[in-house]
Amino acid sequence: MSESAIPALSTWVEVPKNSDFTIYNLPFGVFKNKKLSPRIGIAIGDKIVDLSVLDQEGFFSSFFLPEGIFLKDSLNELIELGKTQTKKIRERVQQLLLAENEELRDHSARGKVMVNRKEAEMLLPVKIGDYTDFYSSIEHATNVGKMFRDPENALLPNWKHLPVGYHGRASSIVVSGTPIHRPKGQFKDPDMEKPAFGPSRRLDFELELAFITGKSTKLGDSVSTSEAEDYIFGFVLFNDWSARDIQAWEYVPLGPFLGKNFGSTISPWVVTLEAIEPFRVQGPSQDPEVLDYLKCENPHSFDIQLEVAIQPEGKSASKICTSNFKYMYWNIAQQLAHHTVNGCNINVGDMMASGTISGATEDSFGSMLELSWKGTRPVKLADGEERRFIEDGDTVIMKGFSEKDGIRVGFGEVSGQILPAKN
């Protein structure tokens, strides 16, 4: 048995083959339906375990949880209880769902506890305080550098010395399924004499993962790479919509602004760090050596397979990208250590996105900008369609999952449709 072998578990819940929401995963989310007010649940198969009902029925009686902790419209207060508590809650649910455990299986409240996922409306899982976007894929940064600057010196001098990032906008982060209107703004292409205003003509997605912080720090304090994971609760898929034409004109000298803040979309189920633990891998080696505060004793990369599909309105979806989170040059511990090294404080519910996750091959690029190489190579879709960028009516669907020894832990999906610009 290898040291990372996962113990085999079976559950009395019927979990469809290839479901992301296995007994090994048990992600947290916030949902409501026609009868139920917003509340916190854990996904398994096609069901949601309603934690508020479990609590009312006394299944957490030894935990001394604050009253109504699961009857909330965000995970923030639950996460704030700390990892020891949230880990115990998730482990308790896992135990209750085991095939041989009759506590819930044979309980009269079982029907009330297990809610159909299909009938549930998923809400934004956290109240996001601050949002930061990194730029941590060397392949993505190199591609962008080649396109917009010097192909010979694609990476800027700082890139291999620090995880480049910027502060984004939290207010416009929405949950999967929320349509986004094409943004309007200023652009000035190289061949234009003066800037023009109108709907973006180069609307793009960015394939990313984001982590949610689960512990606060005080202003002035820093988090080291070895402590970083204590501050990370879990992950969601993150589509960082980008208007390339607006971005290219506005970004000098202060960075991304209106080309980015019109919307970002996240998946509703927060997959915990514990759930992806079996998929931990060594990241790419870093050369030149990084400064001491960015050095890591242990690996902080994860083997998470990612894919993107485009579905034009009324047509079938076409997969256009297959990538992996493990390609990222800078890891989550380095990102958090760098973010706080100057004393910047973090709060529970902050969101930190990875940056576009591109791989080395052309089919693993995590944005249309790269896939169509700045619009010069149209990407073929099914039904005779092709795309350089995202068109009105298109739905972009991202999926992510880890799989090993027949065990799967996944994120479900994040999807969003682009509507025409508003008048």
Residues lying near Mn ion in the complex (CB under 5 A): 133, 206, 240
Q: What is the nearest approach in angstroms of Mn ion to the Cβ of residue 345? A: 23
DSSP, collapsed to helix, strand or coil, labels residue 351 as strand
Asked whether the beta carbons of 261 and 247 are under 8 A apart, the reply is: no
Residue 106 known to bind ligand: no
Q: What is the nearest approach in angstroms of Mn ion to the Cβ of residue 410? A: 22
Residue 225 known to bind ligand: no
Residue 74 known to bind ligand: no
Q: Which is nearer to Mn ion, 240 or 307 (CB)?
A: 240
Residue with tokens 């704030």: 80
Residue 356 known to bind ligand: yes
Q: What is the nearest approach in angstroms of Mn ion to the Cβ of residue 364? A: 16
Q: Which is nearer to Mn ion, 22 or 142 (CB)?
A: 142
Q: Which is nearer to Mn ion, 133 or 370 (CB)?
A: 133
Q: Which is nearer to Mn ion, 78 or 209 (CB)?
A: 209
Distance between CA atoms of 269 and 14, rounded to whole angstroms? Answer: 19
Residue 166 known to bind ligand: no
Residue with tokens 């799967």: 408
Asked whether the beta carbons of 204 and 242 are under 8 A apart, the reply is: yes
Q: What is the nearest approach in angstroms of Mn ion to the Cβ of residue 93? A: 33
Q: Which is nearer to Mn ion, 206 or 413 (CB)?
A: 206
Asked whether the beta carbons of 269 and 75 are under 8 A apart, the reply is: no
Distance set, CA 328 to CA 82, 258, 403 (Å): 28, 26, 18
CA-based nearest residue to 44, from 77, 105, 93:
93
Give buried/exposed letters for 170-209 (b at 16+ CB in 10 A, else e).
beebbbbbeebebbbbebeeeeeeeeeeebbbbbbbbbbb
Asked whether the beta carbons of 395 and 311 are under 8 A apart, the reply is: yes
The catalytic position among 107, 140, 161, 181 is 140
Distance between CA atoms of 372 and 365, rounded to whole angstroms? Answer: 9
Distance between CA atoms of 423 and 66, rounded to whole angstroms? Answer: 47
Distance between CA atoms of 12 and 347, rounded to whole angstroms? Answer: 38
Asked whether the beta carbons of 307 and 322 are under 8 A apart, the reply is: yes
Q: Which is nearer to Mn ion, 240 or 245 (CB)?
A: 240
Q: What is the nearest approach in angstroms of Mn ion to the Cβ of residue 355? A: 5
Catalytic annotation on 140?
yes
Q: What is the nearest approach in angstroms of Mn ion to the Cβ of residue 236? A: 14
Task: Using CB positions, name the residue nearest to Mn ion.
Answer: 240
CA-based nearest residue to 199, from 261, 144, 259:
259
Residue 119 known to bind ligand: no
Residue 350 known to bind ligand: no
Max distance between CA atoms of the chain, in angstroms, equals 73
Structure-block tokens of residue 303: 């083997």
Residue 208 known to bind ligand: yes
Q: Which residues are annotated as a binding site for substrate?
A: 135, 149, 247, 251, 356
List, by residue number, the catalytic residues: 140
Q: Which residues are annotated as a binding site for Mg(2+)?
A: 240, 260, 264
Q: Which residues are annotated as a binding site for Ca(2+)?
A: 133, 206, 208, 240
Q: Which residues are annotated as a binding site?
A: 133, 135, 149, 206, 208, 240, 247, 251, 260, 264, 356
